[in-house]
Amino acid sequence: MTLQATLDAVPESAPGHPDNAARNRLVIGILLVSTFVVFLNETIMSVAIPRLMDDLQVSAGAAQWLTTAFLLTMAVVIPVTGFLLQRLNTRPIFILAMAIFTVGTLGCALAPGLDLLIVGRVVQATGTAIMMPLLMTTVMSLVPPASRGRTMGNISIVMAVAPAVGPTIGGFILAHYDWRFMFYFTLPIAAAALLLGTLRIRNVSTPRPTPLDLASVLLSAIAFGGLVYGLSSLGEGGGNAPVPAWAIIAVGLLAMAVFIRRQLGLAHEERALLDLRTLRQRNYTTALVTMAVAMVALLGSSILLPIYTQHVLGLDTFETGMLLLPGGLLMGLLGPIVGRLYDRLGPRPLLVPGVIAVSAVMWALTLVGPQTPVWAVVAGHVVLSIGLAFAFTPLFTASMSSVPAPLYSHASAILGSVQQVAGAAGIALFVAVMSLQTAAATAGGAAGVDALAAGIRAGFLCGAIISLLMVAAAFFVRRADADGEGGHGPAGH
């Protein structure tokens, strides 16, 4: 089937037909709730590693596999979602994703030791990897262009509030209950979302027969998995690993080159696992690059801030969660407001001030030390969250609106894959720079806390420099025209 034939097959009544309006709102609402659940599960675990090391009597390297295995599975599964979203209808793929996630959550709650807990996390990650591309593709298929900003703003609530409340909830549970209650907490919510979706969700997509190229699946697993695992190992300082992190990254880059070459060839036959013709849309590619840099800054800072608050300022995990809570909640509350402004103004008037605010905070964080008042850290995180709220909604909306409808599933899968790799790169980069500078400061005679503070400042300096690329790229992101082309004609801003 040619691309034009696929375009002609897309039902025109789906986005705005009045008979479908209530059905569409219900489908998007269920997907939003379900995506919130899987995101909440991921962030609740962020404060649990030290507790699990003590309770399960395992080393830090072994416990870190709970995070590494999750990210690795996400990186491997997300590229395949483009194929799944074309072959399966909305209801069966939702049931598949939430059932997998619920089973994985139950497995984690009942796990007697680390090995089965890691298996449960892998199963959870498989379901999680499907949910975000499913949500993005469904929104783009059902919501007319004039209202997409508002709906993407609601997605921003999911992306912001779950990471904000997750560490706080996790810290509270760990302070009062066994670690298994983290999974007992999310299990009934996941089961309820699965039941509600099974009963109420309707098919709103148009599946089409799409061949699966097994060689592409294998190459994508090696490429994305190798990059995420290698970068994660680098960030964890995996110097004692049997295979050096740089070698794993090199294999991932080589596999990525072969994967890209194969996808370009298969695209002409409509057989690509990830259709890279999405990258021909200049606006999509520009927004994708800006998003990748934003993820490097966001994930890198999200790793360094808790290290700074706990090991330099002396706060505990619950206090750290409470410190980060106001910014995250504010980011979620701003999502719908930014979405409505996007529908009126386009991306640039929102995106440019947003990324400038993010960059300014990153530069300010290069000045933190043992004497920095807590209120200043809270204020900085609030401004950072506001800047990200004004950045992510325009980036999601402008990027996804810039590709033709048949490529929505591929565009969302590429977006998710790039986010995973960029996030892993951000964590690896910030932690590596922090570790090197801390070691150098210690060798120079600095005390433990002062040396660590110097390392953290160096990590934030690295992020601040990178953030300038995000600021520069933001000036080139435009509103997409109704035909799926970014920045051509009167609609561009």
Percent over 70 (pLDDT), the chain: 88
Is residue 369 predicted with pLDDT exceeding 80? yes
Q: Regarding predicted confidence, which is higher, 280 or 158? A: 280
Comparing 186 with 165, which gets the higher pLDDT?
Answer: 186
* Greater pLDDT, 42 or 127: 127
Asked whether the beta carbons of 361 and 384 are under 8 A apart, the reply is yes
Q: Which residues contact 301 (CB under 8 A, 6 or more apart)?
A: 362, 365, 384, 430, 460, 463
Say if residue 203's pLDDT is above 80.
no
- Identify the helix (H) or strand (E) that includes residue 386: helix 374-400
| Domain shared by 196 and 250, yes or no | no
The verdict on residue 401 lying in a domain is yes
Same domain, 123 and 218: no
The pLDDT assigned to 79 comes to 82
333 and 392 housed in the same domain = yes
Question: Which has the higher per-residue pLDDT, 100 or 229?
Answer: 100
What's the rounded Cα separation, in Å, for the pair 283 and 473? 11
CA distance 434 to 245: 17
367 part of a folded domain: yes
Mean pLDDT of 188-208: 81
Q: What is the pLDDT of residues 387-424, one digit of tens each?
A: 988 988 888 888 888 888 777 878 888 887 887 778 77
Verify that 198 and 219 share a domain, yes or no.
no
Over pLDDT 90: what percentage of the chain? 13
Whether the per-residue pLDDT at 367 is higher than 50: the answer is: yes
CA distances (Å), origin 149, targets 60, 344, 475: 42, 9, 19
Mean pLDDT along residues 196-206: 76
pLDDT one-digit tens code per residue, 455-473: 889 989 988 998 898 899 8
> Which backbone phi and psi does 401 adopt, to 5 degrees?
-75, -5
Query: What are the start-end ranges of the E strands in 267-316?
Result: none
Q: Does one domain contain both 223 and 291?
A: no
pLDDT digits (tens, 9 = 90+) for 249-272: 899 899 989 988 888 888 777 777
Contact 131, 154 (CB under 8 A): no
Residues 124, 246 share a domain: no
Could you report how far apart the first and last alpha carbons of the chain are, in Å? 35
181 and 304 fall within a common domain:
no
Q: How far is CA 115 from CA 58, 61, 100, 120, in A?
A: 11, 13, 18, 9
Q: With 0-12 CB in 10 A as exposed, 13-18 as middle and 19+ as buried, what is 445? A: exposed
Asked if residue 462 and residue 418 are part of one domain, the reply reads yes
Residue 98 included in any domain? yes
Shared domain check, 324 and 309: yes
> Does residue 1 belong to any structural domain of this protein?
no
Q: In which domain, by residue range, is 43 found? A: 6-208
pLDDT of residue 351: 92
* Average confidence (pLDDT) over 45-72: 75
| pLDDT, averaged across the chain | 80
Residue 340's pLDDT band (boundaries 50, 70, 90)?
Answer: confident
Residue 180 and residue 34 share a domain: yes
Q: Identify the domain boundary among 158, 175, 208.
A: 208
Q: Is the pLDDT of residue 192 over 80?
A: yes
Residue 11 clears pLDDT 70, i.e. is over it: no
Higher pLDDT among residues 446 and 397, named by residue = 397
Domain boundary (208, 225, 260) is at 208
Asked whether residue 111 falls in the same domain as residue 259, the answer is: no
Provide the CATH number for the domain around residue 301. 1.20.1250.20
Q: Is the pLDDT of residue 368 over 60?
A: yes
Residues 164 and 329 sit within 8 Å (Cβ to Cβ): yes
Please say if the pLDDT value at position 484 is more than 70.
Answer: no
Mark 133-170 as b/e (b = at least 16 C-beta within 10 Å): bbbbbbbbbbbebebbbbbbbbbbbbbbbbbbbbbbbb
Domain boundary among 164, 184, 208: 208
Number of C-beta neighbours around residue 474 at 10 A = 27
Return the higher-pLDDT residue of 83 and 290: 290
Question: What confidence score (pLDDT) does residue 239 get?
Answer: 52
Contact between residue 44 and residue 121 where contact means Cβ atoms under 8 Å apart: no
| Residue linked to tokens 């900085």 | 380
Higher pLDDT pick, 32 / 205: 32
Burial 362-383 (b: 16+ CB within 10 A, else e): bbbbbebeeebeeeebbebbbb
> Are 53 and 88 found together in one domain?
yes
Q: What is the tens place of the pLDDT at every residue in 84-130?
A: 877 778 788 889 999 999 999 999 999 888 889 999 999 998 988 88
Quick check: 13 pLDDT over 70?
no
Q: How confident is the model at residue 80 (pLDDT cuts 50, 70, 90)?
A: confident
> What's phi and psi for 59, nearest 5 deg?
-80, 165
Total number of domains in the chain: 3
pLDDT mean over 349-362: 92
Q: What is the mean pLDDT of residues 153-157?
A: 74
Which pLDDT band, with edges at 50, 70 and 90, does 60 fall under?
Answer: low
Given a contact cutoff of 8 angstroms between Cβ atoms, the answer to whether 251 and 259 are in contact is: no
Residue 135, pLDDT above cutoff 50: yes
Whether pLDDT at 352 is above 90: yes
